[in-house]
Amino acid sequence: MKNLITAIMLLLLMTLLVLTAAGCVTEDQEEEFDRAALVAVDNYIEEMSGALGDSTLRADLQGWCRDYYEADEPPFTYDEERREWLGEHKEDLKDLREKHLARSEFPEREEVSEWEVVIVRGEREWVLYGEEVIEALDSLEALYTEVIKVIEMIIESEGELNYQQSVQVLELLDAIDPTLEKAASVFNR
């Protein structure tokens, strides 16, 4: 009887050890990096950069009308067809942003800020810090906001921009490439 009680207690002790070990594995898994979140952010930066840097968007922003022999200087005028195209760009950008940010895999800022992940692309390897990613996301968001604002300004003014509004378009066009290059450099070094 004593051996039976000892065997039962040993069995219970082993079961308790196995359950405790299983609990530790679960805690370790919870501390693992969320790869789906990283992929979601990388995809967002890549697709939003592509959309904001799209040559047709840029061409439509640069597609102001001018009189024959007049220089390419402000103020600018956009015809109705160009304004319609800009409106379509605006909707496409909003849909793209909403699609990505609404995904369950897309992480909160707090999670991203804690990232310290080794990235390997081909033979290149570097540490990706969350603050760099936050900076890239913020710069893309600022560019997105400015593009939407400029498109709305062009549409609301019925394409008849004043000098200051025209300068705002030119400043936006100058800011697109540097902003996109900086954002892309976070995941592509």
32 or 90: which carries more pLDDT confidence? 90
Give the Cα separation of 106 and 54 in Å (integer): 24
pLDDT in the model for residue 64 = 79
Contact 162, 75 (CB under 8 A): yes
Which residues, 6 or more positions from 37, have their beta carbon under 8 angstroms from its beta carbon?
Answer: 105, 106, 107, 111, 112
> Which tokens sit at 96?
């793209």
Contact 183, 47 (CB under 8 A): no
pLDDT in the model for residue 189 = 78
Section 68-92 average pLDDT: 86
Mean pLDDT for the chain overall: 84
pLDDT in the model for residue 67 = 54
Is 20 a residue whose pLDDT tops 60? no
Task: Please give the backbone phi and psi of residue 103, each rounded to the nearest 5 degrees, phi first.
Answer: -65, 140
- Residue 29 corresponds to which amino acid? Q
pLDDT in the model for residue 188 = 85
Which of these ranges, 67-71, 85-89, 105-109, has the smallest mean pLDDT?
A: 67-71
> Which tokens sit at 176?
């697109």
- With bands split at pLDDT 50, 70 and 90, how would you rate the model's confidence at 72? low
Is 160 a residue whose pLDDT tops 80? yes
| pLDDT tens-digit series, residues 108-145 | 999 999 999 998 888 999 999 999 999 999 999 999 99
Other Cβ atoms less than 10 A from the Cβ of 146: the count is: 17
Domain spans in the chain, listed from the N-terminal domain onward: 1-32, 34-185
Which residues, 6 or more positions from 47, have their beta carbon under 8 angstroms from its beta carbon?
Answer: 96, 100
